[in-house]
């Protein structure tokens, strides 16, 4: 068995009665871009802080190249980090900020100048050496912070929601920069965010955090196509859930009865509690077909609203039992022309493409 | 002259804007009983006993008075340095420690600050006297074998004044230190800086404007202090405020008293101006 | 990590130790005085050989102490009332006015607080000698009002800063006259500032020593002047008794202020 580059093993962190991280384990390969995705309070930031050495875990271990990091204090871990808040040293210029880690490491003057220049070039801020951080925009400050975190070539770079204070347009611009820098430097990145779009755009793999645990680890498409839990299904991509009755289940496939009476078979079944009678069925809005007449497996619905969203049309519908389901159709889809608010319609889907969670 | 100018300006403003009327009572009080008497005192310093600058010549030319200035600056400087060196770590801890503990410490600081100045000075007179608790403790610990003279000298004044000035250093510094984002120190640590480097290269430079501002304020307050030096100090190491009082009370020499007061006033104002111009902590960052 | 309490490491015991020492340094003299006031030793030996109330008896049986305390109380009370009224008006003018030079005026009003008191004391003394106000209650009140007023202007000014003037305008639209609106709407809304102004003004006068020394006459002495005069002769434990009463008074005020703040939050 090959040794993983970075290995988080059974990390647990409690504060008195409160458990922030329950049991987190994962391996990260060298050069990988791994994102911790989850809502606030899910334990993703705490896990990152334990990696940085700002907090000590109650239990568990962290190994880098097979060596435990826990007994090493933060300043000797040689890890880079970009924070959520702006953490440039306000009394130093941009150049001095980037040079700071090198000065601490007693690197020679000439080499410092060269490496600072290179680092600033990497984040496209050449010529900003003499600026004070207070005179720069939030996006620029975070890019300087990135240069400061990379200038000493750390094996691992931690990023704790570095873009959350920026507006959407700027955020996308810097996401692109981060992706480029990751490719250019090959540094291993652990990235924390609560924004699924950001996670999907940047990461090689995503670890979805929920209530102090990792629900699932996988690539974006894997998480989307094959969510392991109800939480992951709801957090990645858009989703509808309806309640269904389990008629039988075997080999990870289930036979379900829908509220309208339709019975579907061969639905992938997850986390089935033995003996559970009802399940939650995931229906992706873009995997639903809408027609005015009954075709195939599906549900009878009433059209509630039709919203134009640019390249998509979102149709919101109500089932007979009052559950709301949204359907996404490409602009110009033939079904649109024939329906209007209040009409009866039929939603159909492929049972194999759905997921049921007990 | 000054008075009529103020009221004229006032009446014009009243016509323009009614709100000026509200400040008139306070303004009259300040004008009559603050500006005028201070100006009159300064006039006397150049008019009595005869017109001229001879009072200032005597004050700044004689070694007796120069020793008073030296004493004043020595005590103020010493008190400032000691108060800052002791106060900074306390403010640091108070800025980051859990609330329930910091509240207790704050209560102690405020209690000592609000306690009557004479009561506090009296306490130190008793504690520091030859047969006092401090001397007894030092002897019983074997540090000294006969009582030290701790009052009626600079030691007593410095201890007593430091006691009074400590809260004035600690309280503003807490605010300064609280305004520094802990994440900046975390970033410094991850950059490789150990605790000493984090302190000298990040925490200290970031709190320096606040320290300088607080230190200057304490220095200025100490320069003009009267009660504590008068009670804990000796006759041989008089401070400037005592000199002013002595000229007026015992010697009834208004010329010299006015001159000494002006010097004290001028030093104070210049230092405050420096504080406002360069060290205003609100302006940094 | 220097600003993370849990990650201070070896610094933590150092900082805590120093803070404990400073707390002891600040609190012990106060406790010590209170203890000595009940000690039997005329020479203030500590720990006292036995306990007694005789210093308190001496304090209360001497009419000069009682009289000076009453004088202090009277002057402080009048100063408090005047300081709050003048301070309220001045803060209102500085807060609402649009006239030029408001910032300069605010600075002028605060100057008596930051200048060396001894300069003000000597200057006022000279003026009062000429006006015949030296050694009079009026002189005393004027002197203390000068140093109490800045506290009122700051406290009430801060409170007015946080009060939306349109609420007062609304009261006027409801039919109140401007002064009625001010008294019934604005004054209650800034009552916490007025309360703070009153406490600070009272303490400024009650504890004031330097001005008082110059304003006093043999027949008109405040409590601090009486303590000062006694202290210059000897360190009698009667002063410890008087100081203890003053300290108890301070604690009472602090508790009242804390309760008031709590009540406002609830």
Task: Using DSSP, state whether C71 is helix, strand or coil.
Answer: helix
**Which CATH number goes with the domain that contains C231?**
1.10.3720.10
pLDDT of residue A244: 86
How many C-beta neighbours within 10 Å does residue C171 have?
18
Mean pLDDT on B52-61: 88
pLDDT of residue B10: 39
Taking the CA atoms of residue A26, residue A31, residue A32 and residue A33 in that order, the dihedral angle to the nearest 10 degrees is: 120
**Shortest distance, CA B267 to any CA of chain C (angstroms):** 10
Mean pLDDT on B78-97: 96
The pLDDT tens digits along chain C (266 residues) read: 889 888 888 899 999 999 999 999 999 999 999 999 999 888 888 788 889 999 999 999 999 999 999 999 999 999 999 999 999 999 999 988 888 888 889 889 988 888 899 999 999 999 999 999 999 999 999 999 999 999 999 999 999 988 888 888 888 888 888 888 888 888 998 998 999 899 999 999 998 999 999 999 988 999 999 999 999 888 899 999 999 998 898 888 888 888 887 777 65
Which residues form the domain of C166? 56-265
Q: Do C26 and C128 reside in the same domain of the chain?
A: no
Mean pLDDT on B70-90: 95
Query: Taking 60 as the threshold, does the pLDDT of residue B17 lie above it?
Result: no
Q: Do C32 and C99 reside in the same domain of the chain?
A: no
CATH H-level, domain A6-231: superfamily: P-loop containing nucleotide triphosphate hydrolases (3.40.50.300)
Characterise A58 by phi-psi region: left (phi > 0), alpha (psi -120 to 50), beta (else): alpha
H/E stretch holding C51 reads none
DSSP-H helix ranges across chain A: 44-52, 94-104, 109-122, 138-150, 168-185, 196-202, 220-225, 230-235, 334-338
Residues from chain A that touch B205, judged by Cβ atoms under 8 A, are 91
CB pairs below 8 Å between A and B: how many? 67
**Cα–Cα distance between A82 and A66 in angstroms, integer?**
25
pLDDT of residue A334: 74
Chain B interface, best mutation among A54, A91, A93, by max B CB count within 10 A: A91
Residue C129 lies in a domain: yes
* Of A300 and A131, the one with more pLDDT: A131
B255-to-B58, B260, C72 alpha-carbon distances in Å = 11, 9, 32
Q: Do C116 and C16 reside in the same domain of the chain?
A: no
Q: Provide the residue ranges of all domains of chain B, joining segments of one domain with +.
A: 54-278
Query: Taking 80 as the threshold, does the pLDDT of residue A282 lie above it?
Result: yes
pLDDT of residue B11: 40
pLDDT of residue B283: 46
**Cα–Cα distance between C152 and C85 in angstroms, integer?**
9
Of the candidates C119, C143, C207, the beta carbon closest to that of B261 is on C119
Q: Do C127 and C218 reside in the same domain of the chain?
A: yes
Question: What CATH number does the domain located at B54-278 have?
Answer: 1.10.3720.10
Residue C119 lies in a domain: yes
pLDDT band at B112 (very low <50, low <70, confident <90, very high): very high
Q: Do C62 and C149 reside in the same domain of the chain?
A: yes
pLDDT of residue B88: 96
Residue C49 lies in a domain: no
Of the candidates B23, B33, B186, the beta carbon closest to that of C93 is on B23
Q: Do C247 and C180 reside in the same domain of the chain?
A: yes
Q: Residues spanned by CATH 2.40.50.140 within chain A?
A: 239-357
Does B29 contact C86 at a Cβ distance shorter than 8 Å?
A: yes
The angle formed by the CA atoms of residues B127, B130 and B134, to the nearest 5 degrees, is 40
DSSP of A150-168, one letter per residue? HTT--SEEEEESTTTTS-H
Mean pLDDT on B225-247: 90
Question: What CATH number does the domain located at A239-357 have?
Answer: 2.40.50.140
pLDDT band at A308 (very low <50, low <70, confident <90, very high): confident
pLDDT of residue B16: 45
pLDDT of residue A273: 52
Determine what percent of chain B is predicted with pLDDT higher than 90. 66
B258-to-A199, B43, B252 alpha-carbon distances in Å = 75, 8, 11
Q: What is the mean pLDDT of chain B?
A: 88
Q: Is A83 part of the contact surface with chain B (CB cutoff 8 Å)?
A: yes
Chain C: residues touching A (Cβ < 8 Å): 1, 4, 6-7
Q: Is A74 part of the contact surface with chain C (CB cutoff 8 Å)?
A: yes
pLDDT of residue A337: 75
**Cα–Cα distance between A146 and A186 in angstroms, integer?**
14
Does A87 contact B186 at a Cβ distance shorter than 8 Å?
A: yes
Does B127 contact C247 at a Cβ distance shorter than 8 Å?
A: no
**Cα–Cα distance between A205 and A216 in angstroms, integer?**
10
Residues 6 or more apart from C259 whose CB is under 8 A from it? none
Q: Do C24 and C73 reside in the same domain of the chain?
A: no
Q: What is the tens place of the pLDDT at every residue in A48-90?
A: 999 999 999 999 999 999 999 999 999 999 999 999 999 999 9
Determine what percent of chain A is predicted with pLDDT higher than 90. 59
Residues from chain C that touch A74, judged by Cβ atoms under 8 A, are 1
């Amino acid at each position: 068995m090959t040794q993983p580059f970075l290995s988080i093993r059974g990390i647990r962190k409690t504060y008195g009665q409160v458990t922030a991280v329950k049991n987190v384990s994962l391996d990260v390969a060298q050069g990988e871009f791994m994102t911790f995705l989850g809502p606030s309070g899910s334990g993703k930031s705490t896990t990152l802080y334990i990696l940085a050495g700002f907090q000590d875990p109650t239990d568990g271990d962290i190994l880098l190249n097979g060596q435990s990091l826990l007994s090493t204090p933060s300043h000797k871990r040689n890890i880079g980090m970009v924070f959520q808040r702006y953490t440039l040293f306000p009394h130093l210029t941009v150049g001095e900020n980037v040079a700071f880690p090198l000065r601490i490491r007693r690197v020679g003057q000439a080499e410092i100048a060269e490496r600072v220049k290179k680092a600033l070039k990497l984040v496209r801020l050449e010529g900003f050496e003499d600026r004070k951080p207070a005179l720069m925009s939030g996006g620029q400050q975070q890019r300087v912070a990135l240069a400061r975190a990379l200038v000493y070539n750390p094996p691992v770079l931690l990023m704790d929601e570095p873009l959350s204070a920026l507006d959407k347009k700027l955020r996308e611009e810097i996401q692109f920069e981060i992706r480029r820098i990751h490719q250019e430097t090959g540094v291993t990145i652990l990235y924390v965010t609560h924004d699924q779009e950001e996670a999907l755009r940047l990461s090689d793999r995503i670890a979805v955090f929920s209530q102090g645990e990792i629900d699932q680890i996988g690539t974006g498409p894997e998480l989307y196509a094959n969510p392991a839990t109800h939480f992951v299904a709801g957090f990645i991509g858009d989703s509808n859930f309806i309640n269904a009755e389990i008629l039988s289940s075997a080999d990870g496939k289930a036979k379900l009865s829908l509220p309208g009476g339709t019975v579907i078979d061969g639905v992938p079944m997850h986390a089935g509690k033995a003996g559970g009678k009802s399940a939650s069925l995931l229906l992706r809005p873009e995997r639903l077909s809408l027609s005015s007449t009954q075709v195939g497996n599906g549900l009878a619905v009433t059209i509630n609203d039709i919203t134009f969203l640019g390249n998509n049309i979102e149709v919101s519908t109500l089932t007979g039992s009052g559950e709301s389901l949204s359907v996404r159709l490409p602009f110009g889809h033939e079904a649109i022309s024939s329906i209007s608010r209040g009409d009866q319609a039929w939603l159909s889907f492929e049972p194999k493409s759905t997921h049921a969670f007990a | 002259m000054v008075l009529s100018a103020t009221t004229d300006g006032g009446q014009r403003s009243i016509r323009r804007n009614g709100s000026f009327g509200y400040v008139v009572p306070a303004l009259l009080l300040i004008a009559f009983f603050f500006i005028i008497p201070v100006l009159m005192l300064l006039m006397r310093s150049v008019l009595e006993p005869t017109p001229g600058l001879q009072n200032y010549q005597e004050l700044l030319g004689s070694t007796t008075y120069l020793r008073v200035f030296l004493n004043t600056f020595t005590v103020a400087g010493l008190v400032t340095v000691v108060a800052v060196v002791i106060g900074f770590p306390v403010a640091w801890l108070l800025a980051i420690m859990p609330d329930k503990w910091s509240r207790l410490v704050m209560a102690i600081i405020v209690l000592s600050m609000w306690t009557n100045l004479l009561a506090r000075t009296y306490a130190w007179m008793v504690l520091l006297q030859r047969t006092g608790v401090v001397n007894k403790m030092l002897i019983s610990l074997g540090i000294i074998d006969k009582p030290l003279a701790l009052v009626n000298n600079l030691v007593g004044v410095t201890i007593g004044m430091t006691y009074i000035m400590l809260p004035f250093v600690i309280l503003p510094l807490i605010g300064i230190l609280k305004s520094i984002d802990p994440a900046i120190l975390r970033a410094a640590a991850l950059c490789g800086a150990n605790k000493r480097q984090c302190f000298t290269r990040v925490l200290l430079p970031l709190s320096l404007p606040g320290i300088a501002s607080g230190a200057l304020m304490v220095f200025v307050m100490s320069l003009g202090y009267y009660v504590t030096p008068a009670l804990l100090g000796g006759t041989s190491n008089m401070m400037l405020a005592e000199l002013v009082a002595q000229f007026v009370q015992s010697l009834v020499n208004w010329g010299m008293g006015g001159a000494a007061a002006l010097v004290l006033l001028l030093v104070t104002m210049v230092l405050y101006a420096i504080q406002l111009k360069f060290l205003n902590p609100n302006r940094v960052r | 990590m220097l600003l993370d309490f849990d990650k201070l490491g070896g610094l933590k015991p150092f900082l805590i130790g120093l803070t404990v020492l400073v707390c002891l340094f600040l609190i012990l003299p106060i406790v010590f005085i209170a203890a000595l006031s009940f000690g039997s030793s005329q020479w203030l030996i500590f720990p006292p050989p036995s306990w007694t109330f005789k210093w308190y008896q001496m304090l209360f049986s001497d009419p000069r102490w009682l009289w000076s305390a009453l004088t202090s109380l009277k002057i402080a009370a009048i100063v408090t009332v005047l300081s709050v009224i003048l301070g309220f008006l001045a803060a209102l003018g500085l807060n609402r006015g649009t006239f030029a030079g408001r910032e300069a005026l605010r600075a002028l009003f605060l100057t008596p607080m930051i200048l060396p008191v001894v300069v003000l004391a000597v200057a006022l003394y000279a003026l009062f000698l000429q006006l015949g106000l030296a050694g009079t209650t009026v002189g005393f009140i004027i002197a203390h009002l000068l140093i109490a007023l800045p506290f009122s202007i700051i406290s009430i000014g801060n409170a007015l800063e946080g009060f939306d003037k349109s609420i007062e305008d609304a009261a006027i639209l409801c039919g109140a006259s401007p002064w009625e609106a001010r008294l019934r709407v604005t004054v209650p809304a800034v009552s916490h500032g007025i309360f703070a102004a009153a406490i600070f003004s009272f303490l400024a006068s009650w504890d004031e020593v330097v001005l008082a020394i110059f304003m006093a006459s043999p027949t008109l002495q405040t409590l601090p002047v009486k303590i000062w005069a006694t202290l210059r002769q000897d360190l009698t434990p009667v002063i410890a008794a008087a100081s203890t009463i003053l300290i108890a008074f301070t604690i009472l005020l602090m508790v009242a202020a804390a309760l008031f703040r709590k009540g406002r939050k609830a």
